[in-house]
Amino acid sequence: MLSRVNKTHDVTLWKKLHSLTRKSLSTTTLLRQEAPPSSQEHLSGTSSFKTVSFLSTDEKHHKTKKSVVILGSGWGAISFLKNIDATKYDVSIISPRNYFLFTPLLPSTPAGTVDEKSIIEPVINFASKKKGSITYIEAEAKAINPDRNTVTVDSMTTVATLKAKDSSSHDSVAGLKRAEPFEVKYDYLITAVGAEPNTFGVKGVEEYGHFLKEIPNSLEIRRKFAENIEKANLLPKGDPERKRLLSIVVVGGGPTGVETAGELQDYVSQDLKKFLPSLAEEVQIHLVEALPVVLNMFEKKLSSYAQSVLEKTTIKLHLKTAVGKVEKDHLIAKTKKPDGTVEEQKIGYGTLIWATGNKARPVVTDLFTKIPEQNQSTRALNVNQFLQVKGSKNIFAIGDNAFCGLPPTAQVAHQQAEYLCKNFDKMEKIDGFHNTLLKKTEKFDLPFEENGFKPFNYIHLGALAYLGSERAIANITYGKRSFYTGGGLITFYVWRILYLSMILSARSRFKVISDWLKLTFFKRDFFKGL
């Protein structure tokens, strides 16, 4: 078992998915689609909203199941979806992104090492494999309203209720308008919306730089770099503009930054060099990090090794360096010298990748203001040991939008989701638990304590990072016990095998294996705009 410490990179060895064949698909996922849900007017303050309940007519008449609404489609949300017992709860999932993204391999995609489609899996594919009924709403949650237990949803793109074949109830009420805001009621809310990239107030980043958080970012980075190569190729060697176009600046020395720099360097030295060697020689990748080390979540031995590997390539490391300002074609970097002085330098770039860290999303910061106990929160929702959002009885937060003293990593999100699903199983088994909890007006964690629920206990499974040039570092642990600490070529294969095992869907695993196998024989697929 293994994992790593970074918001988008940290992962854990999930239970092996049984592989999925066409046959099993046709027998287990013959699901029905329902027309959109019934709706009723709901007055909220000055504005009028429709409140909808995603229950069938049948269910409305004999309602016993509590509704659980999940926000998000990342590690926390999808791990929760996979583990929640949908025969005991009415489960809905709301997310504007209709697929899960295997974030640990995102740095491999701009260079074309792994295809973007290989690391995503549609939400409906996870939902359709579950027993019971799941409703997926493709929409962004704009606000959480704890006063009336609803989520405000804007501009729904689509909605699908996936229901096991043996389930008989159907609803055929006419639909909601696409652009009409409405509210979804919940008994329990699981907020797992993650976080968004943080520019830390540096101007020009959003305008001129690229984040690497989502699939479209990867496509943009590849398009930009490909166009810059073309433009540079029309200029004579030594031209300053050619030099600028061929400069890539990666800001952030965490796993995302290091891996992206390493992957792009691999593309340049393994592929581009084959057909445009003099141009490949002139590509300069800069890696800018404010701390004195890269990959500071690893132990000193490994981060030093990482640094030495990076220095052997042509990647230029700028440590203890902060970015002051970003302009259209250059940025100002301030490096702290050993004597305490600060040296300012101008670094020209053709492509700027910003991978420094994340901040809370608006739907989360909005909730900070609505729950008095969260008024002091800034980065994420404070949760208690049962992952209840402090100050709420029926809102739970997991993953990067929850704060409980752990790093914002995929393995934390995943373990939290699994823990919470176990609690939901137990909640269902205890007579009257739901009523006790949902009617409480204070001491919201008391029902959990009184019924002997165990607090969430995180087991750190380690960390992994790819450095480029087929070198990786890994530290595999189980809590405080360390099983493997290494760096190099063998660790690179360890890295590959562990990542494969962590992928949440068999289809995605198949595609990543194909991509890596292809790379053994052929160059990367580096197509501008594809």
Closest approach of Cβ 49 to a second copy, in Å? 17
Q: Which is nearer to a second copy, 120 or 397 (CB)?
A: 120
**Least gap, CB of 522 to a second copy (angstroms):** 4
- Min. distance of Cβ 335 from a second copy in angstroms? 34
CB of 128 to a second copy, least distance (A): 5
Q: How far apart are the first and last CA of the chain?
A: 36
Contact 433, 227 (CB under 8 A): no
Other Cβ atoms within 10 Å of 517 Cβ, number: 10
- DSSP H or E run through 138: strand 133-145
Residue with tokens 């593309």: 267
Contacts of 527 (CB under 8 A, 6+ apart): 112, 222, 226
Q: Quote the tokens at residue 287.
A: 């890696």
Closest CA to 50 of 59, 64, 40, 58: 40
- Least CB distance to a second copy at residue 338 (A): 41
According to DSSP, residue 443 is labeled -
Closer CB to a second copy, 103 or 423, in the complex: 103
User: Can you tell me the distance from the alpha carbon of 161 to that of 140, in angstroms, rounded to the nearest whole number?
Assistant: 17
Strand ranges inside 149-236, DSSP E: 150-163, 182-185, 188-191, 195-197, 210-211
- Binding-site ranges for a second copy (CB under 8 A): 19-22, 25-26, 29-33, 35-36, 98-99, 115-117, 120, 122, 124-125, 127-128, 138, 156-160, 162, 172-178, 215, 229-231, 233-237, 239, 274-279, 506-507, 510-511, 514, 517-518, 520-523, 525, 527-528, 530
Residue 226 has φ and ψ, to the nearest 5°, of -65, -45
- Nearest approach in angstroms of CB 174 to a second copy is 5
User: CA nearest 348: which of 282, 290, 253, 252?
Assistant: 282
Could you tell me whether strands 481-488 and 471-478 are parallel, antiparallel, or unpaired per DSSP bridges? antiparallel
User: Measured from the CB of residue 346, what is the shortest distance to a second copy in angstroms?
Assistant: 25
Instruction: Specify the residue, 233 or 345, whose C-beta has the smaller distance to a second copy.
Output: 233
176 versus 353: smaller Cβ distance to a second copy: 176
Of the pair 497, 530, the CB lying nearest a second copy is at 530
What is the per-residue burial (b if ≥16 Cβ within 10 Å, else e) of 177-202?
Answer: eeeebbbbbbbbbbbbbbbebbbeeb
**Beta pairing class for 358-360 and 195-197:** antiparallel
| Nearest distance in Å: CB 91, a second copy | 15
Pick the closer one to a second copy by CB: 251 or 503: 503
DSSP secondary structure code for residue 268 in this structure: I
Least distance (Å) between residue 217 CB and a second copy: 13
Pick the closest to residue 389 from 374, 378, 376 (CA basis).
374
Q: Is the dihedral of CA 366, 371, 189, 65 positive or negative?
A: negative
What SS3 class is residue 464?
strand
**Locate tokens 């804007």: which residue?**
154
The 3-state DSSP class for residue 317 equals: strand
What are the phi and psi torsion angles at 142 (to 5°)?
Answer: -90, -35
503: left (phi over 0), alpha (psi -120 to 50) or beta: beta
Q: If you write DSSP's letter for every residue of 91-131 in order, what string do you get?
A: EEEE-SS-EEE-GGGGGGTTTTSS-GGGGEEEHHHHHTTSS
Q: How far is the CB of 323 from a second copy (least distance, A)?
A: 30
Minimum gap (Å) between residue 33 Cβ and a second copy: 4
What is the closest distance, in whole angstroms, from the C-beta atom of residue 117 to a second copy in the complex? 5
Q: How far is the CB of 76 from a second copy (least distance, A)?
A: 22
